[in-house]
Amino acid sequence: MSERGAAGPGPAAIQVSRIMRPDDANIAGNVHGGTVLKMIEEAGAIISTRHCNSQAGEPCVAALARVERTDFLSPMCIGEVANVSAEITYTSKHSVEVQVNVLSENILTGAKKVTNKATLWYVPLSLKNVNKVVEVPPIQYARKEQEDEGRKRYEEQKLDRLETKQRNGDVIFPVINPDRQTKEPHTVGYSQSSLIHLVGPSDCTLLGFVHGGVTMKLMDEVAGIVAARHCKTNIVTASVDAINFHEKIKKGSVITISGRMTFTSNKSMEIEVFVDADPFVDEPQERYRAVSAFFTYVSLSKEGRPLPVPQLLTETEEEKRRFEEGKGRYLQTKAKRQAQMQRAAQQ
């Protein structure tokens, strides 16, 4: 792994590189989306923690609060090098926005391609008191417009996080070993899956709570299982909707990561993933919702070409409602992508 400095509007940007190994990928050789998300978060945590400790003040560690929608632009394979670059683009009084780009590099041919672009938000927590958010040193902007645009993004994500938290009372009952023979293929119940994980020291930051990248990797694993059970082909992560970290997860907690299919188009699947935490045995706190997100997957042939996705069969009114909501998100994203392509063609 390597790291180097670069020029940027705020503190020096950083780059982290690592070669992709067999245990980073699925059986088809495609690198797991969760592996890439974990690398993105590690780079973001390094640069934001470094910046928040750049001035005299209370020592702190940056904690991930939110990841904006992330698209997986092209698959990465075993043997390629992931080059992850991170740069701080905006700071508020108590938060840091980090822009991260990921390039895959074929070290045999030298060919490079952009695989991911992500925006992450961090908050600095005091080393002395994990519940205390400290102030963030401001950065210098090259232009006044950069600060105004950053402030607009800050207000938008703040509002979206609030709306997400308000609808976050939904429940997915853990399904560890369901009797799938009693369920109809391509239904929500057939592919629904859960994973239970005990949070250990290697999962945690200096403050004893889980790294955001560890959580995202587990979420991607569960979403991938749901997608694979639904279509029974090779699947890859296509995008991740905004991931909101509502509460910290402490060392010693038992977390349940649950995923269910919500929507299918002709060539994509949307999976809703929740992370619920049961605190350490000595703590009075009840189980709580820690993280939530929507993952989108596509099905690929052996040659890496998109395959049709079996239509999701909805059985209850709740499943039909979630399907229509997913359809709305799909159409909205499709319209945005088409508008971006039109603007790019006109330039």
Question: Mind listing the pLDDT tens digit for each residue in 214-248?
Answer: 999 999 999 999 999 999 999 999 999 999 999 99
- pLDDT category at 206 given cuts 50, 70, 90 is confident
Coil, helix or strand for 336? helix
Burial of 72: CB neighbours in 10 Å, binned 0-12, 13-18, 19+: buried
Q: Cite the DSSP H helix spans in the chain.
A: 33-52, 144-166, 188-191, 212-231, 317-346
Query: Are 306 and 228 within 8 A, CB to CB?
Result: no
Q: How many CA atoms lie within 13 A of 243 on its CB side?
A: 32
Q: How many CA atoms lie within 13 A of 18 on its CB side?
A: 15
In sequence order, what are the residues at sequence separation of 6 or more whose Cβ sits closer than 8 angstroms to the Cβ of residue 148?
Answer: none
**What are the start-end ranges of the E strands in 47-192?**
60-67, 70-72, 81-91, 96-105, 112-126
Percentage of the residues of the chain whose pLDDT score is greater than 70: 90
Residue among 72, 40, 26 at smallest CA distance from 212: 40
CA 205 vs. chain centroid, Å, equals: 18
Query: Are 277 and 247 within 8 A, CB to CB?
Result: yes
Mean pLDDT score, 168-185: 64
Q: Cite the DSSP H helix spans in 196-316.
A: 212-231
Active site residue 203: no
Which one is catalytic: 24, 30, 101, 220?
220
Mean pLDDT score, 74-80: 93
Active site residue 26: yes
Percentage of the residues of the chain whose pLDDT score is greater than 90: 75
Query: CA 231, CA 307: separation in Å to the nearest integer?
Result: 10
